[in-house]
Structure formats: structure tokens, C-alpha cells
Chain A
Amino acid sequence: MSGADALAVLRERGPDRAAESALLGEWLLAQAGLGEEAGEVTVAPGSAGDGVVLADGRVSGTLQRVPWARDAARIALLADGLVVVVDRAAVTIQPRVNLAGDPRDTVVLDGAGAWTGARMDPEELLMRGALTRIALMAGALDRLYEIAVRHSRDRRQFGRPIGSFQAVQQHLVNIAQQVALAGVAAEATARCAGGFEVAAGKLLANRAALTAGRAAHQVLGARGTTREHPLGQLTCRLWAWRSEYGDEHHWSTRLGAAVARAGADSVYPAITGGSTIVSV
């Protein structure tokens, strides 16, 4: 699966292990010269900060919040600045989940045998991961928008569709705006995944997740708050993805610092020219 195809799958179908494996795991292995063998590869998102130690071809330490580690064939991580891969069979999995109940396992490495690849800047992995989350979030927001608009037409109270009330219309407008921004973020980063675009895109997606999520729940009322309702499944994942691969604080300070370094005269050129002007 090509990168662009996998991003499209993530946006259209939601969390898809094969697409995420193609975009992150297999990509990481290819970057590190570790080949593209069959089987799903999941990536430990924060391994550079997890304090994993590599010695004599063996890794030790604890990886946090690894997506679907329990189901993956292999787990890729960064240890001492190098890309490292271990077999799932060689590690201990402590099942954990995110807000939506999706696996985000703790992985204990106790001298697990590892294939060691090339160096990689953890920032590069962070960018790539954020790219996947922007696509996922834009897709979830597309569906959230449809659910909210449909409900506002179908649901009747006081003898008329709730969408005919101005107070509800304001929520729909708010949702439509945020969904449009997240859509722009996903399309622009799929076209050009420079640091500027990813930083700005993740910020917009995160903002949209919070704003549109709150508004959509208000439109759906109590119905949207059940575990089975599609809206709740979307918002729970949106809230979880918000903090994966860089939250608002991370990306806003980083983007702001980069633009400030470029200087006052470069602020507008950066807004129009993105990563061709500013290095984030």
C-alpha cells in the first residue's frame, strides 16, 4: 500500500491496522534498511522517551501505549537513536486501551533479541505519526458531520426537526467549519508533509476534534452518549488521537518557535509557503 493510498484508507475507513502498519511500521523498517517482510508491524510511538536500552543486540525497557501490540507480528521502536525491531513473541504485553477501548498496550522488553537498523531522528517518526493521526481525525470528523446533519433533519421535538431551531443550527455551522479545517489539513498534509504543514495540520485537527466533538454531542443529545452509538465511538477516538504524536502544546510551541526564528518578515510568507519558507 502506498503512503497516499494508506492515508486515504485511514481517512475513509477509520483505524485500519494494515494501513497504519504500511504508513508507520513498514515505512520505519524501510527507512532503516530492515526490509519489508510480511506481517503487521506496529510502532511504539514514544519509544525515544521511554528509556529503552540497547546492548549487544538486545533491548530492555518498557514501551508505553503501543497500538495493537497484542495483535502485531513485530514491534518497531527507537532505541539509542536506532531503529530496532522485535518479535512480539519475545516481549511481554500488558493490555491497555485508549479512551475508545482500542489497544494501546504496554510492552515490556526484557533483553529481547532485536534487529537493529539505521539511525533515525525521533522527530521524523513523530511527523510521520502525526500525519496518520491527521488523516484519521479528518475522516472521523467527516462522519461526525454527516451524523449530526442527518440527526438534525430526522429528529423532531416540539413538532419540528431540531435543525430548524437556530440554537441547533449554530452547532451545525460550528461543526461544518471545523470539519472543513480538518479536511484542509488532511488534504494539504497528504500532498506535502513538511514540518510546517504537519504541525499546523495537527493543531487544526486537534482543535476540530474538541470543538466539533462537543457541538455534535450537543446536537445528538443523550442518544449520542451511549457506548454503541456511532457518534460516541468517533468522539472517543478523536479525543484519544488528539494527544497521540503531539498535542496542542507540543505543536503550537514548536511551530511558533520555528516561525519566530525565521523572523517577523517571514511570518506571512510562511503562512502562504509553509515548509518551503520555515523549517519546523
Chain B
Amino acid sequence: MLRFAPSELTDAELALQEQVRQFLAAELPRGSFAPGLGMAAGRDQDFSRALAARGWLGMALPRRYGGAERGVVDRFIVVEELLRWGAPVRYHWVADRQTGPLILRYGSVAQRDRFLPAICRGEVSFSIGMSEPEAGSDLAAVETRARRAEGGWRVSGTKLWTGGAHENDWFVVLCRTSDEGDRHQGLTQLIVDLRAAGIAVRPIAYLDGSEFFNEVVLDDVFVPDELVVGEVGAGWEQNTSELALERAGPERWLSTYLLVEQYLREHGAVNERAQAALGEAVAGWWGIRALSLSVARLLDAGQAPVAESALVKELGTRFEQDVLDAVWRLVPEDPDPVAESLFERLLAAAILGAPSFTIRGGTNEILRSVAARALRA
């Protein structure tokens, strides 16, 4: 049975929400920057450092590593406000959301000392090295291979859809280290320097012409033993838990939020069609946010809401697309991606970005299977 329990924010949580709102209004006022859509927003290390100075990066990490030892819900509140503001989160996004918790949970003492304080200061950036040409939804099919070498590993293979590989410092590579046993065994996670010898980063032009995603070819790249994350051969379990518990956050239902706000700012909701679209969208956010927040509460309670997370991501990403469609229908002409109107630019970006909402971080088809397994159990 599902464990969704709606809750209110506590006074302390509401105070944090207010702090973030005031910070954004003061440091990043509307009109002073080009807002982006959710995770696809801009990259600005100075902004990430400013967040770090407020204690809002690596929030759940222990104090001895520079974290704030705050919970999942606190991070939820900060991330929610950043995303709905369209703030440039890309520099720290993967490190704060994924790599930090991964290294805390599975990394060595030396890895924690080396990377976690830097993550909390906004001084190191990470990409994800999971997908490959022949390993999309079937991630265990990865063919990138690491072979034993003196003091470490030699890694060869091709990673695909590696966001930000051209601009980030490191990526966590899931690769095969053994062919023995089940194919889910023998996989290992390595922290790889994106500027290491033998790495070639080739941009992939996305639908909108942007070149954020890359193909990363590793040709006999040396990775020292001290950069193996956790156990050799335990990469699958580590990777799965990393994915499962990061699925249901605000980034899965806020990608098209700004579109609605900006429509209202530029056009107003002057007729019933626009009012109905706005009302439906707001009701949807109100409900999905409650579900998403309840998953964060479960995580803070030490539970592993795998099915609930999958359900929320599947629901939230389709909702993002529904919101886009509803707003799009209010506009008579196809939008110009370089128009003067911010709304028009956001609409174009949303239309071109929307196909990826229900693919990135696990396709909706895979998520439904994950959720259904738990529903039927």
C-alpha cells in the first residue's frame, strides 16, 4: 500500500522558505538574469557559491564536511524555490543532488574529505556517466570496461548523454570490471577526471540547438584505486539506490512552472480559457507538491519509498508536459526561440525541452514497471 501522507511545513521550514525567497528577490531579482526551465536553467558558479555561503549546498551532509546536517525536506524547500525562480542551478546541480549523497554513503574517508567540503563550497562540479549507446533503459548493458592496472584501473568505452561534460570537473562512471556472475554484478562506479588524458568530449546538439549533452569517449583512461566509489563489483546496487531515492523531487514537476507565471505577467488571464488552464495547472501543482513533499518526509524518516518516488516522477513529468500543452494552446502562433518576449522564449524552450522530461533520469515506462512491482506485491 502506498504511504503518501500530506503534511504542512513546520514554522522552521516556513522560515527557511521565506529566507530563500528573500535571498532570491535580493540577489537575483526578476529582470536581472535569464531564467531557465528547472534543471535546464543556466550555469553560474558565483551564484552556486553564494548559495553555499548561505549553507544551501550539500544541506544534508554532515557538518564536519561543511554540510548543514539538515534533512531532505529542507533541501526540498530550497530546491523548489530555486527551480520555480528559474535560478542558474546547473553548476552545482549534480554534485548537490546526487554525487554528494553518493560519496557520503559509499565513498571512502579520503573521498569524503576530498570532495564533500568542495561540494558544499560550490567549488567542484560533477556529471553523470551512466548511459551508453547500447545501454539506455537497460543500464546493466553498459560496455565501458575498466581493467586492472598498477595502482588503479584503465578505462575504455563510450558514455552518452553526459550533461555538462565539457564544463564540469568530474563524472561518476558506471563501468564493467568483471564478467563473472549475473550481469548486475561486476559493475563498479569510478570518479573520473573529465580533463584526464584519453578523454574526448564531443557535443550533441539537442533539439533546440544547444550543446549541453555530450558523448564522452574514454580511451585507456587511468583511474587510481582511491577513486573507486564503494566496493568493486557493487556498482549496480549503489547506482540503483542513487537513482531511486532522487526521483521525486521538485525538478520532476516544476520544469514548466515559469511558463505559466510569465504568461500571466505578459498576457494576464483575461478569458475563461486562460483562467481554466491556470486553475487546472495550479491545482495540479498543489496536489503533486503534496505527494512529492510526503516522499521527502518518508526519506527523512529513514524509509525507502521506491514505489512512491517512481509514481511521483512519472506523474510529475507528464504533468509538466500537460501544463506546456495547456499554455501552448493559448498562443495563436508558434513561438520564436529568440523573441524579445521572455514568455515566448520560455515557451519555445519548453516545447523543445518537453520530450526529455519523461525520458531523463529513467523513462516513464521503466518507472511504471518499478512502481507496479511494488503495487502488486
Contact = CB atoms under 8 A, between A and B. Distances in A.
Interface string A200-235: 110110000000000000000000000000000000
B41 interface: no
Contacts of A204: 283-284, 286-287
Interface in B10-29: 17
A76 interface: no
Interface residues of B, number: 46
Contact of A267 (B282, B314, B375): B282
A271 B276 contact: no
A263 B268 CA distance: 8
Given A177-B315, A200-B286, A267-B261, A172 B279 contact: no
B314 A177 contact: yes
Given A181-B291, A264-B265, A251 B279 contact: yes
A180 B311 CA distance: 10
B277 A256 contact: yes
Contact of B375 (A176, A183, A184): A176
Contact of B371 (A176, A191, A197, A203): A176
B264 interface: yes
Interface string A250-275: 01111111011001100110111010
B179 to A, nearest CB: 29
A252 B280 contact: yes
Given A264-B264, A268-B257, A256 B274 contact: yes
A268 B286 contact: no
A267 B84 CA distance: 10
A200 B311 CA distance: 20
Interface stretch (A7-15, A80-88, A98-106, A163-171): A163-171
Contact of A180 (B4, B282, B284): B4
Interface string B344-377: 0000000000000000000001001101100110
B216 interface: no
A199 interface: yes
Given A253-B275, A256-B275, A256-B282, A173 B368 contact: yes
A30 interface: no
Given A176-B375, A184-B291, A274-B286, A256 B279 contact: yes
A185 interface: yes
A170 B368 contact: yes
Dominant SS among interface residues on chain A? helix
Contacts of A251: 279, 283
Interface in B236-293: 257, 260-262, 264-265, 268-269, 272, 274-280, 282-291
A203 B6 contact: no
B289 A260 contact: no
B110 interface: no
Given A176-B2, A204-B287, A264 B315 contact: no
Nearest to B4: A180
Interface in A135-184: 149, 152-153, 161, 163-164, 166, 169-170, 172-173, 176-177, 179-181, 183-184
Contact of B290 (A149, A163, A184): A184
Contact of A260 (B9, B17, B269, B294): B269
29 contacts: A163-B372, A163-B376, A164-B376, A169-B369, A169-B375, A172-B375, A173-B371, A177-B311, A177-B314, A177-B315, A180-B311, A181-B288, A184-B287, A184-B294, A187-B5, A188-B6, A199-B283, A204-B286, A248-B280, A252-B275, A252-B276, A256-B282, A259-B282, A260-B274, A267-B261, A270-B282, A271-B289, A272-B17, A272-B80
Closest 8 CB pairs of A and B: A256-B279, A256-B275, A169-B372, A252-B279, A256-B278, A260-B269, A255-B279, A200-B283
Interface of B: 2, 4-6, 8-9, 17, 80, 84, 257, 260-262, 264-265, 268-269, 272, 274-280, 282-291, 294, 311, 314-315, 365, 368-369, 371-372, 375-376
